[in-house]
Structure 1
């Protein structure tokens, strides 16, 4: 697999309302673990749309992984200025990440015009990638269900890899075990 899309929940869908929330570190660890596996198998590009939450956290993970691995990240928002209604802190984060991505290109010129832009974004990302990694709980799919539907309806075989709550529990335990005080 050369190109993977990564997507998942927005922060409010996870009841995360501050960028300092410690759960973000666990989510990023789960994403990192999956990405490293794929990078070691030949992954070259990670695609995101830049939505807040899992996608921006993925961008941060990939940028950290670039120090050790040959991996690139591309951000394809559905339209220009998608972040204008976000909290200021997230707007700044989005703009910083967009500036340092290896490739950045909104799919539609201009501001938001309708829900069709989100549907087109999902279909485009599925079409341009070999598979996806999704942070998703089947019982509570949230806004992920729209991307998941596009992925399952792909004409070509499309691989869907899910990071589950159990995977995040494993990441929490791994991070605890990395702490030297854990073993005392």
Structure 2
């Protein structure tokens, strides 16, 4: 049973998405929603993210939408280091802050500002060990930031029961085609 699921994936620039209202964002959020709904039917209680731009903040918005139907669903934002948003532009900071104020739990793993890549490795390990599963928007054909969390989850899955759910570009294509078919 998956009571705690981590959600992560590509950042907007890795997908060539530079507008929060780009149509692709809606499809990505729908794919995340479908995965979360399947887990909610089986006892999901918490979604955890690290607050990164892109997939993670979109997942937070999905959780907030789902909370109207599933008020017991909670969101935790556990950042790899303090003030991760300080170099972001104003629009991204506003989005991040809106997620932080609505989250049920907010903390930082290292309790320090950015010092190095080790903080991201520690975050990946923490997320895998503290969750029962991972929903990852990642396609092995297009490497990017999610690759490292994927590898950590794969290694962990070799010795533990762990629910690893990938959303790839083919899955997204099928979702879009299904939606288009439903419209006709």
TM over 0.5: yes
SS at match of 2:174: helix
Residues 101-140 of structure 1 mapped to structure 2, 5 A cutoff: 101-140=103-142
Residues 51-76 of structure 1, C-alpha deviation per residue, up to 9 Å, x if partnerless? 00000000000000000013111010
Q: What root-mean-square deviation, in Å, do the aligned CA atoms of Structure 1 and Structure 2 show? A: 1.3
Q: Tell me how far apart the structure 2 counterparts of residues 22 and 172 of structure 1 sit (CA, whole Å).
A: 11
In the alignment, does 2:146 pair up with 1:144?
Answer: yes
Could you list the runs of 4 or more consecutive aligned residues of structure 1 that deviate by over 6 angstroms after TM superposition?
A: none
Deviations 1:65-121 (CA, angstroms, capped at 9, x unpaired): 000013111010101110111221111110110111011101122311111111100
**Gap runs ≥5 in structure 1:** none
Distance 2:100 2:77 in 1: 7
The alpha-carbon deviation at position 174 of structure 1 amounts to 4.2
Partner residue, 2:164: 160
Deviations 1:128-182 (A, max 9, x none): 001101011111121111101111121423221101112212332344356xxx3
Question: Partners in 1 of 2:181 and 2:47 — Cα distance?
Answer: 29
* Count of aligned positions: 180
The 5 A counterparts of 1:1-184 are 1-69=2-70, 70-154=72-156, 155-176=159-180, 182-183=183-184
Structure 1, 149-158 or 78-87: larger mean CA deviation = 149-158
Report the 3-state secondary structure (helix = DSSP H, G, I; strand = E; otherwise coil) of the residue aligned with 1:139.
coil
Is the partner of 2:63 in helix, strand or coil? helix
Q: Within 2, Cα distance between the matches of 1:152 and 1:19? A: 30
